[in-house]
Structure 1
């Protein structure tokens, strides 16, 4: 792999990198547009020394030892879509400068990423879609915290956050472009705290979140005034308004 291969645009790697903690193969493909990496358990870092200016989509799943992708972050200034699943050691908060091109970010079952959520507002200035799935620290019962999320968000999904008991209106109030909010598989979530959810919302979806879903369907007086302005409210695939 001493040379550069300019024609390749998509690269898929699975169950590889067994002998190397540092992965540097991407340098050989300067025109990559899409990269997917699965199940590389021993890979601790992705090292890139050349520009990947064409890279738009990056998917990383079940790379349990992966801690750093900071050089890739800097080498891919046009990255738009990032999905990270099951990378429990990954930390994006030390990636350096804010990433203005990223539009879609999905974080699933990445404990360190979830617990470092406050970095999102400063790192992702143009983010429009965010999905956070999986565990926060057990002490985190009220989400999202004020100032965590970037103001550019248009769509937000909170899924399988088992510790969350209260949805914070204050943490969403600054999201004046937010149109859709989905809450899925959050069994302890039962209340909404604050004045009301953002006026810009046009759709609220609640799936397998029994306590909150039931209170919404019953138009509980402690909940309903905070969501009644939303044109479409769906609970477990049933439209209630």
Structure 2
């Protein structure tokens, strides 16, 4: 490991020799105290902007020509990839906390990326076209402040399997025929306050989707017309009053095993008891139910939950007014009952309150704020 003014010279000498770098497959560039080291097939550049810029330059000189993975984090200076293009050998690109990094242009280029993750970076990126990434399997974009759309003009992006868009406050839409990828199994869209709609006709066009999360997107006030994909196993909804109400009356959820209902952001919906009588849809396969952030919730309705005959895990979080349990008892199928930041009901459980304990004592594992009650 070397530090100081000689670091840039040493780096340039290394990358000028193909024999020294021909085996490098992974390049890591990040902030911190200046250092550089080679470990196996990985070259790491830490601190020292001039050296980090030289690493970008080396890509354009046929050095580092076998790179398969690049991780860039904590880079504060203006910089762009050589020729505004990615290395042709690259398969994985992860960018974190690099807001001034210029994302490569996507027009007239085809890249071999299979994984792309952008986190708090690339402020210049307003639209991302997946036409340039026909082999992409995983796309994750988090807090990309100016991103407005993800699109694809060509139909049937068959490679894409997981897609995550989070905290992109200007994000409006998915567009183009290709952005209903037939092999997508995981779709998460969270806290995108301007997003207008999900891709259309999810039930028939995303038949392989297994996990769907739509949270904190108030303009998506209803779940897709025509119903949810037939093989869906995990569903998270919340942050929109109509969306929560719409879920509770939705049919065709026979395959669902995990359900999360988030009340954060549902200011106009006042739910004092859950589930409300007759509100739960038919959920014959549900094993895990998570209820979180319902500020007005006071009572857990045990008799309504008895309809969930396969339920094994019940987790309730951040419901500060929750204090009572009504009805006979929680389902006999339950293996775990967890309370987190629900202090009123949590204290009653810990004290084995006479009106609460008989409803839960049959459950093998009961936890309050991570502590098991014996």
Query: Does the 8 Å CA contact 1:53/1:76 hold for their aligned counterparts?
Result: yes
Indicate the residue corresponding to 2:114 in structure 1. Answer: none
Q: Could you state the TM-score of these two structures normalised by the residue count of structure 1?
A: 0.86
Partners of 1:87 and 1:175 in 2: CA distance: 28
Partners of 1:190 and 1:230 in 2: CA distance: 19
Partners of 1:236 and 1:83 in 2: CA distance: 25
Indicate the residue corresponding to 2:213 in structure 1. Answer: 83
What does residue range 1-241 of structure 1 map to in structure 2 within 5 Å? 6-13=134-141, 14-18=144-148, 24-25=151-152, 27=154, 29-47=157-175, 49-50=177-178, 52-71=181-200, 73-74=202-203, 75-120=205-250, 122-135=251-264, 136=266, 137-145=268-276, 146-149=278-281, 150-241=283-374
Q: Against the structure 1 CA distance between its residues 32 and 46, is the aligned structure 2 distance closer, same or farther, given a 3 Å change threshold? A: same
Higher Rg of the two aligned structures: 2
Larger RCO, structure (CA 8 Å, separation 6 or more): 1
Relative to structure 2, which stretch is displaced further, 226-235 or 86-95?
86-95
3-state SS, counterpart of residue 304 of structure 2: coil
Q: What 5-or-longer segments of structure 2 have no aligned partner?
A: 1-106, 109-130
Please state how far the C-alpha of 1:58 moved relative to its aligned partner. 0.9
Please state how far the C-alpha of 1:201 moved relative to its aligned partner. 0.2
3-state SS, counterpart of residue 71 of structure 1: coil
Across the two proteins, how many residue pairs are aligned to each other?
Answer: 237
Q: Could you state the TM-score of these two structures normalised by the residue count of structure 2?
A: 0.57
Deviations 1:165-203 (A, max 9, x none): 111113211111100101111100000111111010011
Partners of 2:352 and 2:166 in 1: CA distance: 44
Q: Against the structure 1 CA distance between its residues 230 and 68, is the aligned structure 2 distance closer, same or farther, given a 3 Å change threshold? A: same
Deviations 1:126-163 (A, max 9, x none): 11111122344443211112341422210111111111
Deviations 1:187-224 (A, max 9, x none): 00000111111010011111111111111112112111
Partners of 1:16 and 1:38 in 2: CA distance: 12
Query: Does the 8 Å CA contact 2:201/2:224 hold for their aligned counterparts?
Result: no
Q: What 5-or-longer segments of structure 1 have no aligned partner?
A: none
Cα RMSD (Å): 2.5
